[in-house]
Amino acid sequence: MTLIEKFFIIFSVKIPLAIIFGSLIIGVFIFLSQNPNLLSQSFNKSQISPKPTSQQNIPTEFEPEISPSITPAPTVSDEELIKEVLIAKTGISKDGIEISMSYNDGKIARGSVKNKNEMSGAAWFAGKQNGIWVIAYAGQGVPECSEIAGFDFPTTWLSHCVDSNGTTIQR
């Protein structure tokens, strides 16, 4: 075997190995650059104990831990609560009432109510008293001042009300 033949045999093995090894290094570099948190993860040494201590309780039998199933109580939306109060105030049946809510901040709300069997509807204004929704006014006219007095409705909603003498006054 000549020197040139030996040279080709040696390099025919080393070059492919160098290519494979270089590709492997590049692949690892690309993988780690796409997952930067992989290198920064560290283990808390206090969590790893090589042997049990006297404080550790090592179970001898498998005891599955059963946690009680807690089913949350269904929550009723403000719209549903107001709908129930509107049914009581207007006398419209549950199947016949249509309501819409145009504003609700959790303290005061407004919208419209309509009987499905009628053409026109009315405006309603509600507020919370002691955490319970109360319909202050539901109708098409100007509310009485006494109906809306306990609520902080903006004057852009209700600019006027009727006083106890029947006089319309600006709020």
Q: What is the pLDDT of residue 79?
A: 94
The reported pLDDT for the residue numbered 109 is 97
Q: Are 107 and 126 in contact (CB under 8 A)?
A: no
Instruction: Return the pLDDT at 16.
Output: 72
- Domain edges within the chain: 1-32, 78-170
Closest CA to 82 of 110, 105, 116: 110
**What pLDDT, on the 0 to 100 scale, is given for residue 116?**
95
**CA distances in angstroms from 146 to 28, 134, 151, 161, listed in the order given:** 77, 14, 10, 9
Give me the pLDDT at residue 59, please. 57
SS3 content of the chain, % helix, strand, coil (to 5): 35, 25, 45
**Comparing C-alpha atoms, which of 127, 105, 113, 104 is closest to residue 83?**
113
Residue 76: the pLDDT is 77
d(CA 116, CA 99): 10
pLDDT in tens, 140-161: 999 999 999 999 999 999 999 9
Question: What pLDDT sits at residue 50?
Answer: 55
Q: Is 9 helix (H, G, I), strand (E, B) or coil?
A: helix
| Stretches in the chain below the pLDDT threshold 50 | 43-46
Name the nearest CA neighbour of 94 among 109, 105, 79, 83: 83
